[in-house]
């Protein structure tokens, strides 16, 4: 695998990780219960991680 692909894969995973943490902290700051935090987080983060994992798998070929 070429080094540029590895850098791109690492960048995708880093953006997903940082974005997930920022999203969770933002939702948690305005929630009153765990369900107010987790449900929107899962609804938003799951499609992003699925798309990111699809992109990583395509780049890893």
pLDDT score, position 16: 97
**For residue 18, what are its two tokens?**
């940082």
The structure's pTM equals: 0.84
Distance CA 21, CA 23 (A): 5
Spatial neighbors of 48 by CB under 8 A, at least 6 apart, are 16, 19, 20
Q: Give residue-wise pLDDT tens across range 14-60.
A: 999 999 999 999 999 988 999 889 999 999 999 999 999 999 999 99
Distance CA 16, CA 57 (A): 15
């Amino acid at each position: 695998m070429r080094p540029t692909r590895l850098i791109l894969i690492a960048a995708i995973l880093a953006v997903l990780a940082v974005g997930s943490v920022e999203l969770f902290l933002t939702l948690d700051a305005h929630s009153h219960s765990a369900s107010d935090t987790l449900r929107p987080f899962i609804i938003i983060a799951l499609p992003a991680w699925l798309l990111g994992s699809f992109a990583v798998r395509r780049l890893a070929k």
